[in-house]
Amino acid sequence: MTFPKPNSGWLVLLISVSLGIGVYLLDSLLLHVLRNSVFDQYQRWQPRTYQPMPVRIIDIDDASLARLGQWPWPRTRIAELVERLREAGAAAIAFDVIFSEPDRTSPAAILKIWQTNPELRRQMALLPDHDAVFADNLAKGNVILGHALKRKGKPPEPFAVPFRVVSLGPSPIPFLHAFNGSIAALPDLQAAAAGNGAISFIPDSDGIVRRIPLLLGMQDRAVPSLAVEALRVALGTRNIMVTTAEAEGAGLQAIRIGDLEVPTTAHGEIWLHYTKPVAKRYIPAWQVLAGKAPATALRDHIVFVGSSAQGLMDLRFSPLGGMIPGVETHAQALEQMLSNDHLLRPNWAPGLEMLGILSGGLLVGLIGLSAGAVLSASAAAVVLAVTGAGAWHAYSEYGLLLDPVTPGLTLIMIFILTSLHHHVTSERRQRWVKQAFSRYVSPNLVSHMVDNPGQLELGGTRRECSFIFTDLTGFTNLMEKLDPAATVALLNDYLDNMIRIAFKHEGTLDRIVGDAVAIMFSAPVEQADHRQRALNCALEMHRYAERHAAEANQKGIPFGTTRIGIHTGEVTVGNFGGSTIFDYRALGDPVNTAARLESVNKQLGTLVCLSEATLSGCPETVTRPVGRLVLKGKTQPLMVYQPLLAAEGSQAQPDTDYQAAYHLMLKNDPLALTAFQRLASQRADDPLVKLHLRRLQAGQSGDVIVFTEK
């Protein structure tokens, strides 16, 4: 037996750790999904605590649509809403709405549809255009319009740039999420507005918005998000300062608007730290238009105008579960910036995580290579627990997003590979001992003792088992005629194959006595189908013995036939003997009965006898009844059957003629004698037909047969 070389464990460890780091560096989509799921769970356990900030949402909700009519509303009504907000003292008004098309309710647009008299048309033509009214209102200041970025297309002409992005360091454009075009507001509206912010989100592959970009790239221009523009307008500044790292590929570090600096990812995003739903964040639009909105809720506040109405479909998936209006995502981002309550995944996080894989992997791997299963599993569990607890502590105390998933999975992989190597090494040695021992004891008994060492003690238990007894006829005479060495080789070949068949059906070798073999089933391991196993094993043994005898006879060796008895019953199985040696076997009357059934074949003229106790568990077996046998030393009859065998490739068929004759005999019908005489004339070599015919001719009736010899 060849065992692994001493240094093979170190090689496995190094490969495992290297593979773990490779998996981390690969950073597959699956790992992204798992990592984000853990970060989402962190937010569900500890969401951001809502702190009142000067941010409100003017909600075009279902109630507002029911009161004021379906969307889109006339631009005059939008202008009225802006005016009411301005009168209430709002610091900035940001629209999470795109006014990219002319108002279809303007008089000029209506005249194109209506067929009316010239006088009415003249009067309507004198009415002001709704978009012009809205533009005049926007020109009064503090209003930010939204635009949606597109991956394809061209920037709108003109595209208002009331902001100015100033870079402190290399250009941020290569690091920003890139877009080519935009769906923006009408040119006149853009020109009148104080700000122009992007309302676009970049959700993850599962549709959840976890990060919101503060700056985005549109061809060669950096454009701010709606939240950044709202903050810029509210602070009365034009510049948006961007800090980028000098190191190659480091990307953005922070964005400053006025005196407020916001740390960002390399791509100019912030991780959103969501709060649970807060009702006072929202004010229905109809209340503002009706003059019922509390003034204190709007004064000096930055307000976002958007919709929670389901019909307008501006809903986004949240890490906390469920959906929230898109406008709330902008509002929560601004709340984070104002409260300086950020979630951060620092640039050094990947390095720390790789260090955890390296150090933790070496520790787990070394223990996995050298220790037992319990200790190595416990050590791996401790390292995983420390990794998870450390990541959670970093989140809950410092708002840091450290990945416990990838290091955890790689540590599990390292543990599995090194433990598997340790197990394979131990298993090889154990298998060698087991294979050697199996030369002396049944393989299933060896496996049972290996798996259950605590059962290696004297004593037995009651259990129902099935038994096979076989015997080879005429072998004593054969030994007198052949050379002893040839006889032993012939017998060993016969026994080897008979026992091989028994082991194939997971039978346990009970004993070998000369040319006789005893096999038991359902011990030491219980087998629910032990009856069927025993019968299948016995029939395969019978076919082999017939074939083996035929081949030997063709060579001029008068090899005898094999008789088989099969029975099932409750016995005591266990270890018997003494402190010096154990003998695992079964004790009980069913063992003797199986042996008697093998022996009674000689008097019946059959080769295989099967008791009813065994047949009850073999519903598909085709048999014919032998009779109720009172075996030597017994007082109660035992119902016995003969299995019917079919030719190779075909199915056994019931012996209906025999069954009919047997049924007549069972009823003591006088016609039974005639039926068996007819069968005997047709089947000169059928031993059971001859047996019952002799009995009937001797004046016996019924199917009870008493044996006075073994």
List, for residues 339-389, the tens digit of each pLDDT value.
999 999 988 888 898 898 888 888 887 887 777 777 878 888 888 899 999
Say what the pLDDT of residue 11 is.
Answer: 80
Question: Contact 255/261 with Cβ under 8 angstroms?
Answer: yes
* Structure tokens that stand for 480 in this block: 């007198």
pLDDT (tens digit, 9 = 90+) per residue, 423-463? Answer: 777 666 555 444 544 444 455 555 555 555 444 444 578 99
Q: Which residues in 151-294 belong to E strands, given as ranges?
A: 164-168, 178-179, 181-183, 195-198, 211-213, 215-218, 221-224, 239-244, 252-257, 260-263, 269-271, 282-284
Is 514 in the same domain as 407? Answer: no
pLDDT score of 271 more than 90? yes
Rounded CA-CA distance 383/372 in Å is 17
Question: Contact 559/552 with Cβ under 8 angstroms?
Answer: yes
Say what the pLDDT of residue 483 is.
Answer: 75
In a domain, 170, yes or no: yes
Is 377 in the same domain as 512? Answer: no
Percent of the chain with pLDDT over 90: 57
Is 221 in the same domain as 172? Answer: yes
CB atoms within 10 A of CB 451: 10
Span between the terminal Cα atoms of the chain, in Å:
49
Residue that terminates a domain, selected from 568, 597, 621 = 621
In a domain, 363, yes or no: yes
Is 378 in the same domain as 268? Answer: no
Residue that terminates a domain, selected from 583, 605, 621 = 621
In a domain, 701, yes or no: no
Say what the pLDDT of residue 42 is.
Answer: 93
Is 68 in the same domain as 186? Answer: yes
Residue that terminates a domain, selected from 561, 588, 621 = 621
Say what the pLDDT of residue 558 is.
Answer: 85
> In the beta sheet, which residues pair with residue 628?
639, 704
Split into its structural domains, the chain has a count of 3
Q: In 3-state terms, what secondary structure has residue 701? A: coil
Q: In 3-state terms, what secondary structure has residue 331? A: helix
Rounded CA-CA distance 121/46 in Å is 62
CA distances (Å), origin 167, targets 163, 244, 671: 13, 7, 116
Say what the pLDDT of residue 88 is.
Answer: 93
Rounded CA-CA distance 170/181 in Å is 24
What are the residues whose beta carbons fall under 8 Å from the beta carbon of 494, sequence distance 6 or more? 472, 515, 545, 548, 559
Say what the pLDDT of residue 476 is.
Answer: 67
What are the residues whose beta carbons fall under 8 Å from the beta carbon of 489, sequence distance 6 or more? none
Q: What is the CATH number of the domain that holds 590?
A: 3.30.70.1230
At residue 579 the predicted structure's pLDDT band, cuts being 50, 70 and 90, is low
Mean per-residue pLDDT for 125-147? 90
Is 463 in the same domain as 409? Answer: no
What is the pTM (predicted TM-score) of this model?
0.60
Task: List b or e across 544-558, with b for residues whose CB sees 16 or more CB atoms inside 10 angstroms.
Answer: bbeebbeebeeeeee
Peptide bond between residue 687 and the one before it cis (omega within 30 degrees of 0)? no
In Å, how far from its chain's centre is CA 481? 67
Report which of 494, 145, 513, 486 is spatially closest to residue 306, judged by C-alpha positions.
Answer: 145
Is 419 in the same domain as 490? Answer: no
Say what the pLDDT of residue 31 is.
Answer: 86
pLDDT (tens digit, 9 = 90+) per residue, 490-527? Answer: 888 898 899 899 989 999 888 888 889 999 999 888 89
Report which of 227, 229, 238, 138 is spatially closest to residue 189, judged by C-alpha positions.
Answer: 138
Residue with tokens 């984000």: 36
Mean per-residue pLDDT for 300-305? 96
Is 37 in the same domain as 59? Answer: no
Is 488 in the same domain as 514? Answer: yes
Is 140 in the same domain as 61? Answer: yes
In a domain, 458, yes or no: yes
CB atoms within 10 A of CB 19: 15
DSSP letter (8 states) at residue 295: G
Give me the DSSP letters along 414-448: HHHHHHHHHHHHHHHHHHHHHHHHTTTS-HHHHHH
Is 388 in the same domain as 483? Answer: no
Amino acid making up residue 547: R
Beta-carbon-side half-sphere exposure of residue 43 (alpha carbons within 13 Å):
21
Say what the pLDDT of residue 582 is.
Answer: 58
In a domain, 12, yes or no: yes
Amino acid making up residue 71: W
In a domain, 633, yes or no: no
In a domain, 529, yes or no: yes
Q: Higher confidence at residue 8 or residue 263?
A: 263
Q: Higher confidence at residue 475 or residue 133?
A: 133
Mean per-residue pLDDT for 408-420? 82
Q: Higher confidence at residue 418 or residue 44?
A: 44
For residue 146, the enclosing domain spans 55-103+132-339
Mean per-residue pLDDT for 115-127? 68
Is 367 in the same domain as 422? Answer: yes
H/E stretch holding 583 reads strand 582-587
Mean per-residue pLDDT for 135-157? 90
In a domain, 650, yes or no: no
Say what the pLDDT of residue 166 is.
Answer: 94
Amino acid making up residue 578: G
For the chain, give percent helix, strand, coil, nearest 5: 45, 20, 35
Rounded CA-CA distance 367/344 in Å is 34
Report which of 605, 639, 596, 609 is spatially closest to residue 534, judged by C-alpha positions.
Answer: 609
- Rounded to 10°, the helix 349-370/373-398 angle is 160
